[in-house]
Structure 1
Amino acid sequence: MDFSFNEDQEALADTVRRYLMTELTPELIRELWETGTGRSEAGWAQLAAQGMTAVSVPEALGGLGMSAAEWALLAQTWGYFGGPDTLMDTSLVTVALLARLPASDWRDTLLAQIAAGNARVALGHSVNPYVADAHVAHVLLCERDGELHRVAPTACTRKAVESVDPSRRLFELQWTPNASTRIADADEATPLIAAMLDHGAFAVAAQLLGLTQRVLDAAIDYTSERKQFGKPIGAYQAVKHLLADVAIRYEFARPVVYRAACALATDDPQRALYVSHAKLAALSAAQLAARNAIQVHGAMGYTWELDLQIFVKRIWALAGSWGDATFHRERVASTLIDARMPIGPARTFELE
């Protein structure tokens, strides 16, 4: 099976990369930290104009009709530049969830609004103790006791929760479920909630890949410029080993994340296994990158002035988003051990 990205997918990712390089800079991220919402309305409108909010929305509703395969590159790029939660939760996870619901006026209207950049959605799942970006959401889709509910922001009370990453805006929500908010009962909601979790965990895994590359790039740049005893510290073998270890871990994680994207795009019956594997592999690479990058920077690595701290804090914050390492290890173990799933390189893709 050929799992290389085609020219259109690469071109889309490259276009987004060049756009974010100028429009989502560390300076802008720092400025947004000081605002009340931490979000930019103008920036969201620009993302919509670039087609980022419409990637997965069906063409009939104003979208591009693409799959999770395209998000493998796009979410990775979003992570590289330290983008906030709203885009992934709305344009990837929410759209995947809505696509599994029966067609209705409210569903189709919401999808069209997402594609046009006129709606942002916050998601509540039992695996996440707090809801991200509830303060800017036009609607909330929340799990409660195994059911799925559509909740208006005015029907909730929010309590802000501080995050290690100032870019994350987290809230503890209080709301009362009732028949008017319920969009799927326990039986109907089970596959929907599972899809929400899998797409959310995949989005985090792909972002962690991008963050790994960003932190590694920052460390390489610093070790090329910082001199000790008359030569760049990057010339010393011990420093080279620290960065090489990150590069190797990154290269091993990348195909695992791409395999998860394929599993989501094809709705593979074992997608939960591939997604959890991706989250674990990407998190391992990102945490190593954060630790080693701080080490090669020395005490400077902890300072507020360096951009490195923006992306390291993002890694730490995403570590527990959509399931921590323990949660995903248990999902992998339950599939491989309890279900006795056959494994091995020959079974990465089942050939017909």
Structure 2
Amino acid sequence: MDFAFSEEQEQLRGFAREFLASRYDDARLAEIADSSTGVDEDVWPKLASMGWLDQDLTFLDQAVLFEETGHRPLPAPYFSTVALAAPALDADTGKRIASGTLRATLAWAEPGRPQALLDPVETSVTDGRLTGVKTLVPDGAVAALFVVVAADGLYAVEAADAEVTPHPTIDGTRRVADVRFSSAPARALASGEEARVLLGRIRDRAYAALALEGVGVAQRALDLLVAYAKEREQFGKPIGVYQAVSHKASNVYVQLQEARSLAYWAAWCVSEDDEMARQACLAAKALAGSAAVFACENAIQGHGGIGFTWEHVLHRYYKRAQWLAAFDGSERAQRAEVAAFLLD
């Protein structure tokens, strides 16, 4: 078992960091977050041309990209398409994604019911027609294809055959939508036990991806805190020499490294289809989500008054951290599930 990334993966990391930093400076990220859709409409074909959407990428390749899209948020439906939808789709549809002509997402939660990814649903299919209402669909307003969780399996439905109502979230670059299907044409993807197993693997993949994003967010928050602590002076000294600031940085660093180790383990488990994948992904998601929130809170406090301003970029990282920490249940719920595995 080797948790080190390959030379090619580290090269991919460097290229991704350079690309995201050059395309999304703080002002551009704010502009997109405050736009009508919250996404960069022009970047999807670019991601395809760089190979980020290729079916041939291993999950460890994607892990590098997920971490970097946390370090510098990518305002595009990359997580919803690659982590949530693509694993359920056939090879031909995957080629449409890889070519940059298709954006997709997963629709599972329903109003008035438990909304975790593996909870039972009422959406039904009769004679190839799907009927039901989904809520909190990630990137639902910008997706052209939905992978829909129905009572008897997973189905693909074109967005053109659905009624979509977008909603804002705390993170302007990661919005959700309510989606109503009224006897919409549906293509079966998986049913019965096959669908249940596939949905479980999608959840593992999504948790690992968000854990990696959380590591990227926490690293960026720490980078900003350390840079400011070295630059800002008070009483003739950089504020980093004072324990009130230095201890914040060290505490963030410790939590970040713990989260990174778990996130990389989860990524390896998903890539290898290891029997510990479920536990690893639950633990990684729980810890990385809280670590990202903790890092952002301490970075904001370490910046003093300027950290609380709308113009400073830190609040956008804080909102991304809160979004990914809350995805599909709280840290407490995920820790409880880990405990259930241990005590079974």
Indicate the SS of the match to 1:52: coil
1:178 and 1:39 map into 2 onto residues whose CA distance is: 27
Aligned residue among 219, 226, 229 for 2:225: 219
Letter in 2 for 1:114: I
Deviation per residue, 1:304-334 (Å, 9 max, x gap): 0101111111111211114321331122112
Partner of 1:111: 94
Match 1:91 to one of 82, 88, 106: 82
Which residue type is aligned with residue 285 of structure 2?
A: K
Match of 1:332 in 2: 338
Q: Give me the TM-score of the superposition, normalised by structure 2.
A: 0.88
Instruction: Please provide the CA RMSD for this pair.
Output: 1.8
1:165 to 143, 166, 171: 171
Please say if 1:308 is aligned against 2:314: yes
Q: 1:134 to 1:74 in 2, by over 3 A?
A: same
- Of 99, 103, 107 in structure 2, the residue corresponding to residue 120 of structure 1 is 103
Q: CA–CA distance in 2 between the matches of 1:210 and 1:36?
A: 26
Structure 1 stretches lacking a partner, 5+ long = 58-64, 99-106, 339-352
Provide the rounded CA distance (Å) in 1 between the counterparts of 2:91 and 2:138: 24
In structure 1, the partner of 2:49 is 49
The alpha carbon displacement at 1:71 in A equals 2.2
Structure 2 unmatched runs, 5+: 110-115, 118-134
Aligned residues: 321
Opposite residue 51 of structure 2, the aligned amino acid is G
Local SS of the residue matching 2:74: coil
Contact 1:71–1:261 (CA under 8 A) maintained in structure 2 = no
Question: Distance in 1 between the 2:271 and 2:278 partners?
Answer: 13
Superposition pairs of residues 203-282 of structure 1, within 5 angstroms:
203-282=209-288
Alignment-mate amino acid for residue 41 of structure 2: E
Structure 1 residue 160, shift from structure 2 partner: 2.3
d(CA) in 2 for partners of 1:123, 1:25 = 29
Partner AA of 1:36 in structure 2: S
Are the equivalent residues in 2 in contact too, given 1:200–1:322 (CA < 8 A)?
Answer: no
1:125–1:197 contact (8 Å) kept in structure 2: no
Match of 1:189 in 2: 195
In structure 1, the residue matched to 2:71 is 80
Q: CA shift at 1:2, angstroms?
A: 2.5
Q: Which amino acid aligns with 1:92?
A: A
Contact residue 52 and residue 91 of structure 1 kept, 8 A: no
- 8 Å CA contact 2:43–2:76 kept in 1: the answer is no
Name whichever of 17-26 and 170-179 sits farther off: 170-179
Q: Is the 8 A contact 1:280 1:328 kept in 2?
A: yes
Deviations 1:131-162 (A, max 9, x none): 11112212100213352121111222222222
Task: For 1:108 and 1:235, locate their aligned partners in 2 and report how far apart those are by CA, in whole Å.
Answer: 56
Q: 1:202 touches 1:261 (CA, 8 Å); kept in 2?
A: yes
Give the 3 Å change call, closer, same or farther, for CA 164–201 of structure 1 in structure 2.
Answer: same
Shift of 1:269: 2.2
Offset, 1:287: 1.7
Q: Secondary structure at the match of 1:82?
A: coil
Q: CA deviation at 1:336?
A: 0.8
1:42 alignment partner AA:
D
Letter in 2 for 1:315: A
- Cα distance in 1 between the residues matched to 2:179 and 2:273: 31
Identity among equivalent pairs (%): 31
Provide the C-alpha distance between the structure 1 equivalents of 2:276 and 2:213, rounded to a whole number of angstroms: 22
Measured in 2, the distance between the counterparts of 1:198 and 1:123 equals: 14
1:70 to 52, 61, 69: 61
Superposed CA offset, 1:50-80 (max 9, x none)? 11111xx0xxxxxxx2211122222111110
Equivalent residue, structure 2, for 1:3: 3
The answer on 1:287 being equivalent to 2:293 is yes
* Greater fraction of residues in strand: 2
Change (3 A) 1:84 1:335: farther
Distance (Å, rounded) in 2 between the aligned partners of 1:177 and 1:81 = 40
Say whether residues 1:133 and 2:139 are aligned partners.
Answer: yes
Is residue 76–residue 208 contact of structure 1 (8 Å, CA) maintained in 2?
Answer: yes
Q: Does 1:152 align with 2:143?
A: no
| 1:350 corresponds to | none
Amino acid at match of 1:258: Y
Deviation at 1:166, TM superposition (A): 1.3
